[in-house]
Amino acid sequence: MEWMSLLLFLSVIIVLMAGFPVAFSLGGVALIFAGIGTATGTFDPILSAMPERITGIMMNQTLMAVPLFVFMGVVLESSKIAERLLDTMSQLFGALRGGLGFSVMLVGMLLAASTGIVGATVVTMGLISLPVMLKRGYAPEIACGTICASGTLGQIIPPSIILVLLGDQLSSAYQQAQLKQGIFSPEQISVGDLFVGAIIPGLLLVSLYMIYLAGVAWLRPHMMPAANNIQQEALSLARISKALFPPLLLIFAVLGSILAGYATPTEAASVGAVGALFLALANQQLNLSTLKSSMQQTVRITSMVFMILIGASLFSLVFRGFGGDEQIHQLLANLPGGKTTALLLVMLVIFVLGFVLDFIEITFVVIPIVGPVLLTMDIDPIWLGTMIAINLQTSFLTPPFGFALFYLRGVAPKEISTHHIYRGVIPFIIIQLIALLILSLCPELVTWLPSKIT
C-alpha cells in the first residue's frame, strides 16, 4: 500500500510529460489505480466522497473569480492598452540610458496587475516591445530577459489567477491542519489575504529588477542605449494621463475594493470585468466579434481550469485512499532540520515540477498533499502561498523548460536565438532567488500588511 501512492504520483507525472490532457490524465490514472487497489485489497474505498467534492467545487464562491479575472484579462488584450502604455512610457523615459527597458518593466507590471495571465503578458510584450528594443540597439539578451521577467510578474502581482487558486487550496489546507492540531474552530484565510500579502513582495521584485536594469545601463551603456537619435513626439500631461489613468483606475478599482473591505475577490473580479469592457469600448476596440471571441476564450480557459480541478480532486482522493497523505506527513515531519528542511524540500520539488507542469496542475495536485503538513509546522499560510508563487515564477523563467521562455520563443523574430533568451533570463532568476531569500529572512514583508488591514 505504501508503494501504490508513490507509483500513482510517478505515473501521473509520466503521463503528463507524455503530453496527454491534464484533467483526463489525473482522473484516468487515479481511477486505474483505484481499480487495481480495490482488486488487490490495498485501497480504502473512499470514492463515494467524490460527488460531494464536485458539488463543493461547483458551489465554491472563491472560484467564481476565475472566469471573471480571465475575462478581464482577455478583453484587455484586445483593448490595445499595452501598445498605448509602452508608446507613452518609452517616449517619457526614452531619452534616458536604459529608459526603454524601464518602460517595458513598468508596463509589464501594470499589465500583470491588470490581466494576471502570464502567457498573455509575455506574448503581448514580446510582440510589441521586442522589435522596438532591438531596433533601438538593445542587446538581445537584455531585451529577452526583461520581457520574460516582466511578463511573469502576473504570477505574484494581484489580481493573479495563481493567487486565486492558491488561496482557495491553502484555505482548505489550513483548516485541515488546524483540525489535525485539535483546533475545532479554525481560523480562515481568504484570497484577499493572499492578494494583500503579495503586494509588498511584488513591488520588491519589481524594484530589484529596476535596480539591475539601472546597473546594466550605467556599467554597460552599449547594451541599453538612450534613444538620442530618435524623433519623439512631444508628450503632454493629457496624453500621459490618457495612457496611464485607465489601467491605474482599473487596478485601484479591483485591488482597492478588496483592500478597503468593500468587496470580496469575486465581487472585485466582476468590477474588473466590467471595467475592462468600458476600457475596450473607450479605445474603440469593442464590437460584437471581439466580445464573442473574448467570451469563447474565457469559456475555454475556465473549462480547462475546472476540469483540471475535478481531475485533481479525484487524484488526491485516491492518493489519500492509499495512505499517501500520511506517508507525506511522516516523511516531512521526520526530516532532520524540522520545518526548514521540510519547506526547502517542498519548494525544490515544486520548482522542478514547474519545468513540466503548469501552475494549475501544481496548485491542484501538490498543494492539497503538502499544504496541510507544512501548515501544522507553524508556517504562516499567507507567507507560504507567496513563497510558492514566487518559486513557481522562478521555475517558469529557468532554462531549458521554463514556460515563459517557450512563450517568447514562439513570437520572437528569427534573429533571436534560444541562447539569447536563456542568457537574458539568468540574472533575473538570480534576482528572484535573492527575493526568496529576503522573504525567508524577513517574513514580515509578507505578513505585515495583511495584519494591518484585517
Domain ranges of the chain: 2-453
Number of Cβ atoms within 10 Å of the Cβ of 24? 13
Contact by Cβ (8 Å): 449, 201 = no
pLDDT on residue 344: 92
Is pLDDT larger for residue 181 or for residue 428? Answer: 428
pLDDT of residue 439: 95
Three-class secondary structure of residue 59 per DSSP: coil
C-alpha cell at 8: 500513482
Distance of CA 25 to the CA centre of its chain: 22
The amino acid occupying position 343 is: L
Q: Cα(314)–Cα(311) distance, rounded to whole angstroms? A: 5
Percent of the chain past pLDDT 90, that is, above it, reads 18
Cell of 153: 510578474
Cα distance between residue 172 and residue 135, in whole Å: 50
Grid cell of 71 as nine digits: 475575462
Under the banding of pLDDT at 50, 70 and 90, the label for residue 94 is low
pLDDT in tens, 158-197: 878 888 888 888 988 898 888 887 877 778 888 888 989 9
Q: Which pLDDT score, from 0 to 100, does residue 208 have?
A: 96
Give the least confident one: 81-95, 290-304, 361-375. 81-95
Distance from C-alpha of 36 to C-alpha of 283, rounded to nearest angstrom: 58
Predicted confidence at residue 268, as pLDDT, reads 86
Q: How far apart are CA 163 and CA 166, in angstroms?
A: 5
As a whole number, mean pLDDT of residues 249-269 equals: 83
Contacts of 409 (CB under 8 A, 6+ apart): 418, 421
* Residue 230 in this model has a pLDDT that exceeds 70: no
Q: Looking at residue 115, what is its pLDDT?
A: 64
User: Where does the pLDDT of residue 390 fall: very low under 50, low under 70, confident under 90, or very high at 90 and above?
Assistant: very high
DSSP 116: -
Buried b (16+ CB within 10 A) or exposed e, 389-410: bbbbbbbbbbeeebbbbebbbe
Average of per-residue pLDDT across 108-133: 76
Based on the number of CB atoms within 10 Å of its own CB, is 285 exposed (0-12), middle (13-18) or buried (19 or more)?
middle
- Structure-model confidence comparison of residues 67 and 94, the more confident one: 67
Where does the pLDDT of residue 445 fall: very low under 50, low under 70, confident under 90, or very high at 90 and above? very high
Please write the tens of the pLDDT for every residue from 28-39: 998 898 888 888
Mean pLDDT over the full length of the chain: 84
pLDDT, residue 266, reads 85
pLDDT at 233 over 60: no
| Inter-CA distances, 174 with 118, 300, 449, Å | 27, 30, 20
pLDDT band at 119 (very low <50, low <70, confident <90, very high): low
Asked whether residue 436 carries a pLDDT value surpassing 90, the answer given is yes
Average the pLDDT over 90-114 and give the result.
80
**pLDDT computed for residue 430 by the predictor:** 94
Residue 314 vs residues 29, 208, 307, 430: alpha-carbon distances, Å: 10, 41, 11, 37
Which residue is it, cell 526583461? Answer: 146
The pLDDT value given to residue 454: 62
How does residue 228 score in pLDDT terms, banded at 50, 70 and 90? low
Instruction: Check whether 143 has a pLDDT greater than 80.
Output: yes
How many alpha carbons lie under 13 Å from residue 14 in its C-beta half-sphere?
7
Taking 80 as the threshold, does the pLDDT of residue 325 lie above it? Answer: no
pLDDT score for 247: 80
| pLDDT classification of 157: cutoffs 50, 70, 90 | confident
Q: Please say if the pLDDT value at position 60 is more than 60.
A: yes
Cβ atoms of 385 and 195 within 8 Å: the answer is no
**Against a cut of 0.75, is the pTM above it?**
yes
Mean pLDDT score, 99-128: 78
Range scoring the smallest mean pLDDT among 12-16, 133-137, 434-438: 12-16
Between 101 and 96, the higher pLDDT residue: 101
More confident residue, 214 or 5: 214
| Cell 501521473 sits on residue | 12
DSSP 223: G
Whole-angstrom Cα distance, residue 396 to residue 390? Answer: 10
Residue 386 is predicted with a pLDDT of 94
Q: 381: pLDDT confidence band, cut at 50, 70 and 90? A: very high
Please state, in angstroms and rounded to a whole number, the distance separating the CA atoms of residues 363 and 370.
Answer: 11
Distance CA 63, CA 442 (A): 31
| pLDDT over 60 (residue 374) | yes
pLDDT of the residue at 453: 78
